[in-house]
Structure 1
Amino acid sequence: MNVASDIEATFKLLLIGDSGTGKSSLLLRFTDDAWLQPDEVAATIGVDFKVKTMEINEKKYKLTIWDTAGQERFRTLTSSYYRGAQGVIMVYDVTQRESFDHLTTWFNELDTYSSNPSWKEGEAFAKRMGTLFIEASAKTRAGVKEAFLEVVRKIIETPDLYQKPAGNRAPTNVVNLDAQNENAEGGGCC
C-alpha cells in the first residue's frame, strides 16, 4: 500500500499574526502535541513549516503548515509564502490588545498577496477596457490556441489594422529603407 496514493489532497496552510502571539506554539501543539514554556520559544526567523496528515470523513489530507515570522522586518519574506495557500489562520494573543488590533493589517496583507483574480474579475476588466477576455494557461495548454485565434479574428475584422492605404502607396510617415536613390552617384563616405 502506497502512503502517497492514500492522500486525497495536499493543502498549504499559513499561520500569520504579530510576533509573540503563539503561532509557533500552536503549530507545535497541533503537529507534535508538544508544549514549550514561553522562555523556551524563540522568535521565528523568516519562516518555518511542518507537515501533518489529517483524516476527515475517512479521507486523508496532507497539510503543509507554514509558520511565518510576525516581525515587521520579515514582512517582505512572507509575501511569497501567501501564494498557493488554501487556508490561513490569523493568530493574536488574548493578553495583547495590540496584536488583535493588527489583524486588520494582516488581513489586508493577506488580501493583497494571496488573492488571485477571479474569472469574473478578468472578464469585467476586459469589458471596462473594451478588449477581449480569454483565460489561458501555458502549463495546461487550456485556452492558449483560442487566445491567439481570437486575436487574429479581431484583426481580420478590423481591416485598417493590416491593409495598405489606397493606391498601394506606403504611408507618408514611413521611410522605405529598400528604395535606391536614383540620383545618387557612387562614392565613398568622405
Structure 2
Amino acid sequence: MVSKMSDSSNSDLHEEPESFVIEKQAQRRIFKIIVIGDSNVGKTCLTYRFCSSKFPDKTEATIGVDFRERTVNVEGEQIKLQLWDTAGQERFRKSMVQHYYRNVHAIVFVYDVTKMSSFENMPGWIGECDQHNLNRDIPRILVGNKCDEKDKIAVNTNLAQKFADSYNMPLFETSAKDDEKANHVDAIFMTLAHKLKNAKPMMPPYLTNHSRNFNTVQLGDSLQKRGLERARAEERNDSCSC
C-alpha cells in the first residue's frame, strides 16, 4: 500500500516521470530513505505510522519492497520523503536489492527491542549498506521498535546507545503501535528531513565493478561486528562492581 500525498500538476510536468528529483512547479526536492532490518521488527508499521498517522489495521510480511511517501515542511521548504521498506527475508530481497540501494539519501536501521537477535544482526545490515557503496556520510539513524512491550524488552537502552555511538548514529526507541509514542516516530523521519534539507544533491553512485554479485552479501562480517562487541564490552565495564 502506498500513502501518497497529492501534488498539483500542469502541462510543464506532463512528460516527466513521477520519480524526478526536482518537481519544477513547486521546486520540491525528493529524498529517498531506506528502512532496513530483520523481518517482523516493525519496519512497515513505522513507515505506515509516519505517512498515515495511524497503526495499520492488518500487517503482513513485506514481499519485495513497500513504498510510501509524505511531504513535510522543513523551515519553510516543502520536502518529499520517499520511504522504501524492504523485506527482511533474503528470499524476497534478492530480486530487488540493486534497485533498493540505488540513489539513497538516508538510512533507518530498525531492530525489535524484544528480540536480541534482531539487534545482533545490525552489524550485518550496516555491512550490506557498505558493500553497496553507501557512503558513511549519508545520514543514518538506529531505531529500537516495540518498546511498548515493556515486560519483554531484551535489548536495554545502554547497550543500544553504545552501539549507536560507535557508528555515529542517533538512537530512537519507540513504538509504531502505541499512539502515545507517535511523536517519536515522527521525530525519527523529521530528524532526517532536517539533515537532508541542507544536503547537497547527490549523484547516483557509479559502480565500476559491474561483475560484482550483490546477491551473495555476507552478513555478519567480523569487521562489522566490532561495533557490537565494543558496545557489549563497554556495558560489562559499566556494570562492574569492582
Q: Same fold judged by TM-score > 0.5?
A: yes
1:64 corresponds to: 82
Structure 1 unaligned residues grouped into runs of 5+: 117-190
Matches within 5 A, 1:75-86: 75-76=93-94, 77-86=96-105
Q: What is the distance in 2 between the residues matched to 1:98 and 1:90?
A: 14
Q: What is the distance in 1 between the residues matched to 2:99 and 2:133?
A: 9
1:15 corresponds to: 35
Q: What is the distance in 1 between the residues matched to 2:69 and 2:97?
A: 18
Aligned residue pairs total: 116
The counterpart of 2:118, out of the listed 90, 99, 104, is 99
TM-score between both structures, scaled by the size of structure 2: 0.44
1:36 shift after superposition: 2.9
Counterpart of 1:14, as a letter, is: I
Q: What is the distance in 1 between the residues matched to 2:126 and 2:55?
A: 27
Q: What is the distance in 1 between the residues matched to 2:67 and 2:120?
A: 26
State the identity as a percent.
40
| Contact 1:10/1:63 (8 A) holds in 2 | yes
1:7 shift after superposition: 4.1
What are the Cα deviations for residues 90-127 of structure 1, in whole angstroms up to 9, with x where unaligned?
Answer: 000000100000010000001111436xxxxxxxxxxx
| Contact 2:38/2:88 (8 A) holds in 1 | yes
| Contact 2:32/2:104 (8 A) holds in 1 | yes
Q: What is the distance in 2 between the residues matched to 1:55 and 1:62?
A: 9
Q: What is the distance in 2 between the residues matched to 1:114 and 1:41?
A: 32
What are the Cα deviations for residues 8-50 of structure 1, in whole angstroms up to 9, with x where unaligned?
Answer: 311001011000000000010000012136xx31000000101
Counterpart of 1:22, as a letter, is: G
Counterpart of 2:54, as a letter, is: A
Matches within 5 A, 1:31-70: 31-36=51-56, 40-70=58-88
Greater shift, 76-85 or 88-97, is seen at: 76-85
SS of match in other structure, 1:83: coil
Judging changes above 3 Å, is the alpha-carbon distance between structure 1 residues 7 and 91 closer, same or farther for their aligned structure 2 residues?
A: farther
| Contact 2:35/2:108 (8 A) holds in 1 | yes
Larger radius of gyration: 1
Structure 2 unaligned residues grouped into runs of 5+: 1-6, 9-22, 136-242
| Contact 1:7/1:61 (8 A) holds in 2 | no
The Cα RMSD (Å) is: 2.4
The counterpart of 1:115, out of the listed 129, 134, 156, is 134
SS of match in other structure, 1:90: strand
Q: What is the distance in 2 between the residues matched to 1:11 and 1:114?
A: 18
Judging changes above 3 Å, is the alpha-carbon distance between structure 1 residues 79 and 100 closer, same or farther for their aligned structure 2 residues?
A: farther
TM-score between both structures, scaled by the size of structure 1: 0.56
